[in-house]
Amino acid sequence: MEYQSYFNEIVEKEYGKDVLKEINDNIIKFRKPSFRINPLKGDVTCVQAKLESLGFKLSSIDFYDNAFILENKTQEELENTDVYKDGQIYLQSLSSMIPPLILNPKVNTDILDMAAAPGGKTTQIAALTSNKARITACEMNTIRAKRLEYNVKMQGATSVFVLNQDSRNLDELFSFDAILLDAPCSGSGTRTTKESFKGLTEILVKKSVASQTKLLAKALKLLKKNGTLIYSTCSIFKEENEEVLKSVLKDKSFQIESIDFNSNLIKKLPSSINGVLTIAPTEHTEGFFIAKIRKV
């Protein structure tokens, strides 16, 4: 597959031929839509029952009671339901639900989402804290910030303050108990089509790394003592993941905490850093990287 030769080259170099073949065999399979029920707008059991009464067959997820896979209908059919239009559910990939769960946000704390649009993880954090945390959601792009504001409102996430600003420029007088940095990346873990692989280039990866490095360095400055920072990307390239951590995390005030996360739906990829989580792209999950950092 010449159109994804760059992807194949990097994955084979970093994970080996067998892993590359398994990934390529899996990503061409149809990935069923997944979503989470929003407890800020509706009771999980009631919403599930309503969808099932409409003929939607749902499969539960072993790591998140609010999350489901849609087995028998399309995303468009789900979007035409009242529960979707009322913000009682949010369409989201299973992998992207994991960083907020690992962040484990607490009520009555200050939380920063550094690259928040379109708002899936932001509104999930609001739901996990029952709108009882103070969440600042940054988005530098004005159009994407408006989309973020729309989703925040639709999901009833009243604890979220949207800031149309580059989080790298936040005043360092700010400080946060918890930070989610789901950094802009090459998206190497999410690409499945010929057209999408055409956009995956070394230039894009280098540009992403430069942005990721600056964002992570800023996040460390904004984190309170004993605070938790999640660094995540939807890439499986080590240059955007482990290598970014190694280049920035030189201060002994910060340590990587081991992530203990298991699921029957998740296949893990090996890492050069103990305790981080690299999720392989499969028919169930997008490729993702997650690291948990604490300021000690």
- Residues annotated as part of the active site: 234
Residue 240: other Cβ atoms inside 10 A: 26
Q: How many residues does the chain have?
A: 296
Nearest to 277 by CA among 292, 264, 265: 292
Label residues 98-134 b or e (16+ Cβ within 10 Å = b): bbbbbbebeeebbbbbbbbbbbbbbbbbbbbbeeebb
Cis peptide before 118 (omega within 30 of 0): yes
With beta carbons less than 8 A apart as the criterion, state whether 244 and 186 touch.
no
Which amino acid is it at 24? N
CA 108 to chain centroid: 23
Q: For residues 121 and 157, give the distance between their C-alpha atoms in angstroms, rounded to a whole number.
A: 11
3-class state of residue 137 by DSSP: strand
Nearest to 61 by CA among 21, 101, 3: 101
Return all residues near 68 (Cβ < 8 A) that are at least 6 apart.
Answer: 34, 35, 36, 37, 48, 58, 59, 60, 61
